[in-house]
Amino acid sequence: MAYDKTLGELLREQGITRRGFLKFCATTASMMALSPSMVPKIAAALENAKRPSVIWLSFQECTGCTESLTRSHSPTIEKLIFDVISLDHHHTLMAASGYGVDEALHDAMKENYGKYLLLVDGSIPVGNPAYSTISGVSNLDQLTEAAKGAAAIVSIGTCAAFGGIPHANPNPTGAVAVSDIIKDKPIINVSGCPPIPVVITGVLAQFLTFGKLPEMDELGRPKAFFGQNIHDRCYRRPFYERGQFAETFDDEGAKKGWCLFKLGCKGPVTYNACATMKWNEGTSWPVESGHGCLGCSEPNFWDMGGFYNSLSTPTIDIAKTAAAGLAAGAAVGVAAGALNRRKKNKAAREHETVTINDLEKGAKS
């Protein structure tokens, strides 16, 4: 492994022109909402960055995050940048198998102890570690061991960031996020199911450039990509304001591209870059293709009361709970009413009639 070569040298070896490289730096700067004056700084930092060792661990996941990263980019500069990062261990992308894989992992960990970036996709089962093991080693043990020597951890995808689908109710494996286990390392959550590829590369580029983690939101996500609300950036927003909604997926409203709120769009509570960066090299994104946002970059998105129920509806059966309240209220109400009546009748019974004679007697004495 050539850890000694700089990123600039490696890029030139791969035939990337200076112009192409600067273009990438400018794109990265604008993605991260940095001023244009930062472009040379990014270029200089990336140029001289040593090829960092990256270890990618996959736990309870569907490989969707890796698929997203690899498929969506036919050779773009982002992909090449990713290639020149020394990806020393990645189950899916490695040619090796068996003991060689474990060896590569341990070698990389040993050689770059304290310096490597640990990328994790998938959640970790803590209910019973046997639900997910690699070479007989539980996910929990592997993560704890690999985290020890990591400079920082990047949780790729909602499963690693927040538990994701394995964490969905009733969470049979006791799945948790990386941040639930590792407390002493800087962790950055690149959530999404899957995350947008340029967001992954953007975060890595930022880490390489500044040598530190970017500014993050309350959920540990880089604000540059997760600081914007889908609903606020949605091109269908004017229809929401006007009260024009698609009622079904094939009605007139749907054909006219009206707002998908009533069809369960979770855009208002979702923070991601889909509406601005889009997918498949900026071709489209879910809302543009006519389907509401699932809110996949948010924790517990699987348990937000159904993908096709609108955000303002309750996640519980309100008619059922109201019926329980009605039954209890009726029972207690009738009992209270009966008690009140008894009290009233008793008072009437015990009421002593005062005659005029009694009053006269009282007045005399």
Partner 1 sequence: MTSVEFLQWVRGPGLAIASIIFVFGMTLKVLEIFMLGRKKNLAELRSSGVKEGFRTIITRFGAVDRFTTRRTMFTHITGWVFHVGLFVAIFLLTPHIELFKSFLGFGWPALPTAIVDFVTVITLITLLIILFHRITNPVLRYLSVGEDYVVWVLTFLPMLTGYMAYHHLFFPYTWLLGIHILSVCILMALFPFTKLTHAVTLFFSRWYNGYMGGQKGVKQ
Report phi then psi at 61, rounded to 5. Answer: -145, 175
Q: Is 171 in the site for partner 1 (CB under 8 A)?
A: no
Q: Is 48 in the site for partner 1 (CB under 8 A)?
A: no
- The single residue among 95, 110, 136, 316 that binds partner 1, judged by CB under 8 A, is 316
The least distance separating partner 1 from the CB of residue 275, rounded to whole angstroms, comes to 14
- Please name the residues in contact with 178: beta carbons below 8 A apart, sequence gap of 6 or more: 120, 124, 143, 153, 155, 160, 161, 187
- The single residue among 319, 347, 354, 363 that binds partner 1, judged by CB under 8 A, is 319
The least distance separating partner 1 from the CB of residue 327, rounded to whole angstroms, comes to 9
If one counts every other C-beta atom within 10 angstroms of the C-beta of residue 13, the result is 11
Q: Is 218 in the site for partner 1 (CB under 8 A)?
A: yes
Q: Is 348 in the site for partner 1 (CB under 8 A)?
A: no
- The single residue among 93, 96, 336, 359 that binds partner 1, judged by CB under 8 A, is 336
Q: Is 299 in the site for partner 1 (CB under 8 A)?
A: yes
Identify the three-state secondary structure at position 280: coil
Which span sits near partner 1 by CB under 8 A: 110-118, 120-128, 176-184, 294-302? Answer: 294-302
Q: How far is CA 262 from the centre of its chain?
A: 22
- Nearest CB to partner 1, comparing residues 127 and 314: 314
Q: Is 314 in the site for partner 1 (CB under 8 A)?
A: yes
- Nearest CB to partner 1, comparing residues 106 and 341: 341
- Nearest CB to partner 1, comparing residues 117 and 178: 178
Closest C-alpha to 29, from 50, 49, 17, 45: 45
264: tokens are: 């369960």
Which span sits near partner 1 by CB under 8 A: 26-34, 72-80, 203-211, 224-232? Answer: 224-232
Closest C-alpha to 59, from 152, 149, 161: 161
Q: Is 100 in the site for partner 1 (CB under 8 A)?
A: no
191: tokens are: 């959530």
- Please give the span between the terminal C-alpha atoms of the chain, in angstroms, as a whole number: 119
Q: Is 216 in the site for partner 1 (CB under 8 A)?
A: no
State the Cα–Cα distance between residues 66 and 121, nearest whole angstrom: 9
323: tokens are: 């019926």
The least distance separating partner 1 from the CB of residue 21, rounded to whole angstroms, comes to 36
- Please name the residues in contact with 157: beta carbons below 8 A apart, sequence gap of 6 or more: 61, 64, 65, 121, 122, 164, 190, 191, 192, 193, 194, 195
The one-letter amino acid code at 141 reads D
- The single residue among 130, 137, 330, 359 that binds partner 1, judged by CB under 8 A, is 330
Q: Is 249 in the site for partner 1 (CB under 8 A)?
A: no
State the Cα–Cα distance between residues 121 and 63, nearest whole angstrom: 8
- DSSP strand pairing (124-125 vs 133-134): unpaired
Which span sits near partner 1 by CB under 8 A: 98-106, 149-157, 249-257, 328-336? Answer: 328-336
Q: Is 219 in the site for partner 1 (CB under 8 A)?
A: yes
- Burial pattern 257-267, b for ≥16 Cβ within 10 A else e, equals ebbbbbbbbbb
The least distance separating partner 1 from the CB of residue 241, rounded to whole angstroms, comes to 5
Closest C-alpha to 178, from 162, 193, 194: 162
- DSSP strand pairing (133-134 vs 137-138): antiparallel
- Nearest CB to partner 1, comparing residues 2 and 330: 330
The least distance separating partner 1 from the CB of residue 212, rounded to whole angstroms, comes to 24
Summarize as ranges the residues that interact with partner 1 (CB under 8 A). Answer: 218-219, 229, 231-232, 240-243, 245, 261-262, 268-269, 271, 298-300, 303-305, 309-316, 318-319, 321-322, 324-326, 328-330, 332-334, 336-338, 340-341, 344
